[in-house]
Chain A
Amino acid sequence: MIFLLWLTTVVTFVIVQLPPGDYSTALIGRLEAAGQHVDEEKRQAIKKEFGLDLPTHMRYVKWVTLAAKGNLGYSFDWKRPVTELIGQRLTLTVTIALLSTIVTYVIAIPIGIYSATHQYSVGDYIFTTWGFFGLAVPNFMLALALLYFGLRYFGVNLSGLYSQEFMDAPWSIAKLLDLAKHLPIPVFVVATGGSAGLIRVLRATLLDELEKQYVITARSKGLSNTKMLFKYPVRLCLNPLVSNLAWLFPNLISGGAITAIVLGLPTAGPMMLRALLTQDTFLSCSILLFLTMLTLIGTTISDILLVLVDPRIRMERSTS
């Protein structure tokens, strides 16, 4: 885990350094466009100010040693420490991802069970079609479509996370309520794509389980249908769902990033895009690092949950 994190710092730093030039070239370009004359001496001074005169590997070492102590460096573009900038945005990113995970499961599990137990019914066809569309419609298109319908038919602007008056207001109950009003749209958008895949998995595994002998045995012994269903096959089918969490979480973070850009949410995604385009090295590196860290945590949680849900894995561990 620590090794993976270290690897992430190297890779993200390399990727961010890939484009030619750096923040100072862009800045000098802007200064020159504004009519200022920038001579060689001033160029060097600007480079030195941002620490860009050092070779890449030295800057990496400097950044990583500081990052290990909790200091993620300084954003060139925002002129503020990175930690301060991304703190709130990451909280929102995590909130949206977590809520979407919950909503995904809340949507997917009942629908998956219904589809499998009512195979070939009208409801099953509707949900399966919907699942296919969920896979085929990218998040950003869904977000755009929702924005369009919101504006066209209800006359409301659904983008953003806060209403105008709360944009820069300090945290209060009113602001929290305002946030709660805006959250459902991004959460819904992100959760749709994820739930489509889960419904397919759950439906397929449950259909396989329902054909097995033990189901017939349970039925022949007079167990009620609901009790039988939730006591045996559904429990078995939760396994793939839990192990799916490992890939679902990175997907939700991914999907969240692009949805946030379209919806103009103050989360980590849009900030990363801007930081990458302005070559704001430390900021973009830190965000990419944190997003990767989140997915690693997600994977670990899914491993732990798998042990909790599946007694077979627990038994294996205790006997060995």
Chain B
Amino acid sequence: MLSKLTKTKAPTSTDFSDSYYVASQWELVRRKFKRHKLARVGIIVLALFYTIAIFAGFFSLSDYQKRDVDHVTMPPQNLHFFDEQGKFHLRPFVCNYIYTLNMDTLERMFEEDTSNCYDIQFLVHTHPYKFWGIFETDLHLIGVESPGYYFPFGTDEFGRDLFSRNVYASRISLSIGFVGVILSFFLGSIIGGISGYFGGAIDMVIQRIIEFIISIPSIPLWIALAAALPHDWSSVEVYFGITIVLATVGWTTLARTVRGKFLELREADFVMAAKISNMSDFHIIIKHLLPSFASYLIVILTLSIPGMILGETALSFLEIGIRPPAVSWGVLLQDAQNIRSLALHPWLFIPAIYVIVTVLAFNFIGDGLRDAADPYKQ
């Protein structure tokens, strides 16, 4: 396991100073997590992705739904620091592309027009957008003044800017995992809690149900459920429909863990000790039981987010998930379905890189958290 790779170093002598012994459990968890390098990389990457997703309008370069008929399936534009004379420009610039149709192969050819270049501007006023749907603004982090344009990831078959589409797609793709996880968290902890707390016949029935759900192959089940979503639903309804579909499978692992922990901890010595000291059940659960396995829950939740993101991507890719005009990474990848168009326009595959990086980041953080979850284990 990678945790071994980035094995947390044995505590140095300073770690055994007084601060180590007086630090609270969460303080120790935090310290141990910070030593996991890959997890820190994961946190930084995700923080960046989520910031971009939250302020999608601010980071986008052009209107993500706008169709630019003059620049259809244009390859990613080069960013230049040196002009034709080899002079260095501190401010990078892009050049407009001239479009020609190769009459022999009927391929679209784009050539850089080096006489028609524009500087990249920062905090520039270009196309208007609604900030969180509250007020209208046209401020963007970077942009190119008209009639210049900048398509860092190229454009799709309708001439829409793939970079901005990716930025907007990350909103749905990144949030769907969280919403799905919250849903499965409620289902899993309540059902798992009931199962572990009452035991007996109820436990038996719930466990059989869970085993049953696990025994259905998840992707065919997702496909079946997603295909059942009505065709006339709005984007928002479909979005929540998909999260429910993803959560129907997701809650089972969590329920199992919660039940197992309940059964195990019910018999633990410290619970017995607390009971003898006349603590109320409520107090025991809040003060002793929950903290002792909250960290495990967080680990499981973190590790189940990437599965949900991948599930959404796969469903949207098969055209039974999120539906256009809403965009998610899976929706963008639909364009890559046709292998011949992918061979001609490989930049259509860029959303896949986003998906992979996100999933890796979540996995790294999950690994780091798993190591940190038990701070007393060296």
Could you list which residues of chain A lie within 8 angstroms of chain B, going by C-beta atoms? Answer: 4, 7-8, 11-12, 15-16, 18-20, 119-120, 124-125, 128, 132-133, 135-138, 140-141, 144-145, 147-148, 151-152, 157, 159, 200, 203-204, 207, 247, 250-251, 253-255, 257-258, 261-262, 269, 272-273, 276-277, 284, 287-288, 291-292, 294-296, 299
Contacts and interface: CB of A to CB of B under 8 A. Distances in A.
A250 B215 contact: yes
A239 to B, nearest CB: 17
Interface stretch (B63-71, B96-104, B289-297, B340-348): B340-348
24 contacts: A11-B212, A16-B224, A16-B228, A20-B230, A119-B4, A120-B5, A133-B360, A138-B310, A138-B355, A151-B339, A151-B343, A250-B214, A250-B215, A257-B220, A258-B314, A272-B220, A273-B227, A273-B320, A276-B223, A276-B224, A284-B224, A288-B221, A292-B215, A295-B217
Contacts of A294: 217
Nearest to B5: A128
Contacts of A124: 5
A51 B85 CA distance: 78
Given A125-B5, A207-B4, A15 B359 contact: no
Given A15-B228, A148-B349, 5 more contacts: A12-B224, A133-B360, A141-B356, A277-B227, A284-B224
A251 B66 CA distance: 40
B193 to A, nearest CB: 24
Nearest to A97: B217
Nearest to A253: B217
A18 B219 CA distance: 17
Contacts of B310: 138
A7 B212 CA distance: 8
Contacts of B239: none
B355 A141 contact: yes
A144 B336 contact: yes
Contacts of B356: 133, 136-137, 141
Give the dominant DSSP class at B's interface. Answer: helix
Contact of B216 (A128, A141, A295): A295
Range for the number of chain B residues in contact with chain A: 35 or more
B194 interface: no
B339 to A, nearest CB: 5
Contacts of A136: 306, 356, 359-360, 363
Contact of A135 (B4, B220, B359): B359
Nearest to B2: A128
Which 8 pairs between the two chains have the least Cβ-Cβ distance?
A: A18-B228, A254-B219, A276-B227, A136-B359, A204-B1, A254-B217, A253-B217, A136-B360
Interface string B151-182: 00000000000000000000000000000000
A168 to B, nearest CB: 23
B243 interface: no
B75 to A, nearest CB: 15
Interface in B330-378: 333, 336-337, 339-340, 342-343, 346, 349, 352, 355-356, 359-360, 363
A19 B225 CA distance: 9
Contact of A291 (B220, B317, B349, B352): B220
B219 A255 contact: yes
